[in-house]
Amino acid sequence: MKTKKLWCAERVQRLMMSMFLLLILVLLAKGYSVAGLALLAFMSIMLFIHFAFDFCPSTVILNKIFGSCYCECKDENDENKL
């Protein structure tokens, strides 16, 4: 049976995106509209790149640190053989 890890690349990436959106909201609410809109434009470009090319640089980097949520773990393969 596959189990998802608590801290894995896809979950951490979604957490980072939500925190980034909250930061943008705070900047816009405080009146820092240029900084907020610049960060929003950056995030929009990165999401378009992820959509168009199925490539997300943050997920690639986080996969190396945390590992993927959807990989087959070596321990799970050993349990299935028993």
What sign does the CA torsion over 69, 9, 61, 33 have? Answer: positive
pTM of the prediction?
Answer: 0.72
CA–CA dist 78, 31 (Å, integer): 56
Parse the chain into domains and list their residue ranges: 9-81
Q: Which residues contact 59 (CB under 8 A, 6 or more apart)?
A: 9, 10, 13
Separation of alpha carbons 30 and 26, rounded Å = 6
- Whole-number average pLDDT of the chain: 85
Q: How do residues 28-60 score in pLDDT, each as one tens digit? A: 999 999 999 999 999 999 999 999 998 888 888
